[in-house]
Chains A and B, each alone.
Chain A
Amino acid sequence: MTTLTLSVNGSTRRVTTEDRTLLVDLLRGPLGLTGTHVGCDTSQCGACVVRLNGETVKSCSVLAATLDDGAMVETIEGVASDGALHPMQQAFSECHALQCGFCTPGFVITAIDMAERHPEGLSAAIVRAELKGNLCRCTGYQNIVAAVLQGAAAMGVPVPEREVSQ
Chain B
Amino acid sequence: MTKPSQPPFTGRTEDRRFLTGAGRFVDDIELGRQAYMALVLSTHAHAEIRGIDTTTAAAMPGVLAVLTGADVLADGLGPVPPFFMPKLWGGPDGYGTLRPILVTDHVRCVGDRVAIVIAETRDEARLAAEAVDIDYAPLPVVTGARAALADDAPRLWADCPTGNLSCTLRLGDAAATAQAFAQAEVTLKRRLISPRVAPSSLEPRACIGVHDAAEDRFTLYTSSQDPHGFRAVIARNVLKIAESRLRVVSPDVGGGFGLKAHMHPEDALVLWAARRVGRPVKWTATRSEALLTDTQGRGQEVEAEIALDRDGTVRGVRVEAWHNLGAYFWGTATPPIFFSLQLIPNTYTIPAVDLTTHAVFTNTAPMSVYRGAGRPEATFVIERLMDEAAAEIGMDPAELRLRNTIAPEAMPFTTPTGMTYDSGDFGGMIRIALDRGDWAGFAARRDAAKGRGRLRGRSITSYVEVAGVMNERMEIRFDPDGALSIIAGTHSHGQGHATVFSQMVADWLSVPLDSIRYVQGDTDTVLIGRGTFAARSSMLGGTALMRAKDALIERAKDMAAIVLEADRAAVEFSDGMLRVTGTNKAIPLTEVAKLYYLPAGPANALGIGLSGAGTAAGKPGAAPNYPNGVILCEVEVDPETGAIVVDRMLALDDVGRVLNSTICEGQIHGGIAQGLGQALLEEVTYDEDGQLTSGSFMDYGLPRAGHMPHIESHLLEVPCTTNPLGVKGIGESGAIGAPVAIVNAILDAVRPLGVGSLDMPVTQVRLWSALRAAEEMRGAA
Contact = CB atoms under 8 A, between A and B. Distances in A.
A143 interface: yes
Contacts of B665: 96
A75 B21 contact: yes
A139 B665 CA distance: 9
B666 interface: yes
Interface stretch (A64-72, A115-123, A127-135, A153-161): A127-135
B369 to A, nearest CB: 16
B702 interface: yes
Interface in B286-330: 286-288
Contact of A98 (B15, B671, B702, B705): B15
Interface stretch (B250-258, B518-526, B534-542, B563-571): B250-258
A41 B10 CA distance: 35
B11 A94 contact: yes
A94 B11 CA distance: 5
B254 A35 contact: no
Given A96-B663, A98-B15, A102-B23, A137 B257 contact: yes
Interface string B17-34: 111111101011000000
Contacts of A34: 21, 25, 27-28
Given A85-B20, A101-B23, A39 B202 contact: yes
Given A41-B286, A100-B254, A102-B203, A76 B696 contact: no
Contacts of B702: 135, 137
A142 interface: yes
Contact of B12 (A93, A137, A166): A93
Interface string B650-682: 000000000000110110011111100000000
For chain A, what secondary structure do more than half of its interface residues adopt (helix, strand, loop), or is it mixed?
Answer: loop
B585 interface: no
Contacts of B19: 76, 80, 85, 89, 92-93, 98, 101, 104-105, 108
Contact of A135 (B202, B253, B698, B734): B202
Interface stretch (B55-63, B231-239, B428-436, B493-501): B493-501
Contact of B705 (A33, A77, A127): A127
Interface in B677-717: 696-698, 702-706, 708, 710-711
A96 B496 CA distance: 10
A80 B21 CA distance: 10
A79 B494 CA distance: 22
Contacts of A35: 20-23
| Interface of B (DSSP majority class) | loop
A35 B23 CA distance: 7
Contacts of A92: 15, 19
A161 to B, nearest CB: 16
B495 A96 contact: no
Contacts of B253: 100
B177 interface: no
A140 interface: yes
A141 B734 CA distance: 14
A42 B287 contact: yes
A144 B286 contact: no
B252 to A, nearest CB: 7
23 contacts: A35-B21, A39-B204, A41-B286, A41-B287, A41-B288, A76-B20, A93-B16, A94-B11, A99-B255, A99-B496, A101-B14, A101-B494, A102-B23, A102-B203, A103-B202, A128-B706, A132-B704, A134-B705, A135-B702, A137-B200, A140-B670, A141-B703, A143-B666
Interface of A: 20, 28, 33-42, 44-45, 47, 75-77, 79-80, 85, 89, 92-94, 96, 98-105, 108, 124, 127-129, 131-132, 134-145, 166
